[in-house]
Amino acid sequence: MVGCLLVPSFPLACELAEHRRLVGAPAVVVGDDGVVEAASPAAEARGVHPGQAVREAIGRCPTLAVLESRPAHYLAVWEAIREAVEQTVFTVEPVGPGLVYVAMDELLAWHRSLDAAVQAVLGCAPTALGPRAGVAPTRFTSLLAARRAPAGGVGVVGEDGLAAFVGPEPVEALPVAPEMLRRLRLLGLRTMGDLGALPRSALAAQFGPDGILAWELARGRDRSPLRACRRPPRLTERLSLETPLASRPVLLAAWEQTLGRAARQPAFRGMAARQAGLLAATERGRQWSRTITFKEPLADPRRIWAALRPALEEAQFPGPLSELVVELRGLAPAVGQQLALPSARSALRGRLEEALRQLKARYGYCPVGRVVEVEPWSRVPERRLALIDFDP
């Protein structure tokens, strides 16, 4: 059996969880480009739909509540749900924010009944989001069962009633291209039952592989296994600020301090990161996030900071920041990491030796020595340390 945890219109569900007075009212979430990202059922009933310009949406529904999109907040909520699901079930296939499949057979070995196992999965999402769960023999039918379930409810479909359950569903539920759906409507095929009644060869000749997939799904024959996705290890470091900061130089110093604390964690010893995630939050809960992928795995905190600093210098934060988060992702053993090119190190040694000569010439008490090694872990390039072999 396959389980499905679904939060419909995930961005809107996250907003309605904080604006309970808008539940049941026409409301939309609008992105920075002025396009509707998610719409409530009441808004859709008045002709408002995702992908529509906000001006057109307000023209169709003058009482429409417009909510500003907060992608960083939605990502944080989704990551918390995903981690909770991964702690509950071993085989997990996350599809995207608000949708994840799980292997229910694994939970049945630990819970007394199917209802208890489903409730364990349903409890991974906050109740305020209105999650729903579905259980069926296949992934596609479990998704249909979750869509039919009420908010906070569960839909269960057995093997015997699978065909009768799928038949009344509209063809718009199929995971196929919009052009194929348009052609199906032109052919008068409105439901899964209409599609499943046709010969398999007819749909294959008309639509190719997509036609075969649609025919099998319409008959409840989707037997594709779950593709378990295990996230690579990652490290997270948070820095809470007693006083919100707005000064860019001070914020850069705070970000660098947070990165340094993450790199000093024992789990990062001997490892290299492929990606870094940056998250910041204001005192009022507004969030900012950015993901930076490195050209190669980096183990040196100095090189990681050199990759992160340009993005932080140009970032437009939503206000004074009260919390900073640095997450090092894609950790793998640091093998063959070249920290500096020989030519660059030689040039640095030459500059240090010249500085020592000038220091002796000016103050008369610093002996001129030979630079043996340059400390590679210095966080500030202007304050690199050198091991000096002084002449007697």
User: Where residue 52 sits, what CATH number does that domain have?
Assistant: 3.40.1170.60
Band of pLDDT at residue 344, cut at 50, 70 and 90? low
Asked whether residue 240 falls in the same domain as residue 327, the answer is: yes
**pLDDT higher than threshold 70 for residue 359:** no
Band of pLDDT at residue 385, cut at 50, 70 and 90? very low
Query: Tell me, what's the pLDDT at 337?
Result: 52
Domain range for 320: 235-333
**Which token pair is 56?**
């057109």
Asked whether residue 327 falls in the same domain as residue 262, the answer is: yes
Query: Tell me, what's the pLDDT at 343?
Result: 53
Asked whether residue 324 falls in the same domain as residue 245, the answer is: yes
- Does the residue 90 lie in any domain? no
Asked whether residue 209 falls in the same domain as residue 253, the answer is: no
- Does the residue 109 lie in any domain? no
- Does the residue 35 lie in any domain? yes
Asked whether residue 280 falls in the same domain as residue 348, the answer is: no
Average pLDDT, the chain: 83
Q: Name the domain count of the chain.
A: 4
- Does the residue 300 lie in any domain? yes
Asked whether residue 243 falls in the same domain as residue 329, the answer is: yes
What pLDDT digit, counting tens, does each position of 296-319 carry?
A: 889 999 999 999 999 999 998 988
Is the Cα torsion angle 242, 128, 23, 133 positive or negative in sign? positive
Asked whether residue 252 falls in the same domain as residue 326, the answer is: yes
Mean pLDDT of 350-355: 72
Among the three residues 156, 188, 218, which one is the final residue of a domain in this structure?
218
pTM for the full model? 0.67
Asked whether residue 209 falls in the same domain as residue 297, the answer is: no
For position 190, which CATH number holds? 1.10.150.20
Mean pLDDT of 218-242: 80
- Does the residue 241 lie in any domain? yes
Asked whether residue 329 falls in the same domain as residue 368, the answer is: no
For position 283, which CATH number holds? 3.30.1490.100
- Does the residue 111 lie in any domain? no
Among the three residues 54, 71, 88, which one is the final residue of a domain in this structure?
71
Query: Tell me, what's the pLDDT at 348?
Result: 64
**pLDDT higher than threshold 60 for residue 367:** no
- Does the residue 179 lie in any domain? yes
Report helix angle 200-207 to 209-218, nearest 10. 140
Query: Tell me, what's the pLDDT at 14?
Result: 92
- Does the residue 254 lie in any domain? yes
Band of pLDDT at residue 382, cut at 50, 70 and 90? very low
Tell me how far apart the alpha carbons of residues 15 and 13 are, in angstroms, rounded to a whole number.
5
Asked whether residue 315 falls in the same domain as residue 268, the answer is: yes
Among the three residues 333, 353, 372, which one is the final residue of a domain in this structure?
333
Mean pLDDT of 137-148: 89
Asked whether residue 272 falls in the same domain as residue 323, the answer is: yes
Asked whether residue 241 falls in the same domain as residue 327, the answer is: yes
**pLDDT higher than threshold 60 for residue 380:** no
What pLDDT digit, counting tens, does each position of 77-112 carry?
A: 998 899 899 888 888 888 888 999 988 888 877 777
Mean pLDDT of 267-280: 90
**pLDDT higher than threshold 60 for residue 375:** no
Mean pLDDT of 183-189: 87
Q: Which residue matches tokens 């389980």?
A: 3
Query: Tell me, what's the pLDDT at 307?
Result: 92
Mean pLDDT of 138-154: 89
The more confident residue out of 169 and 285 is 169
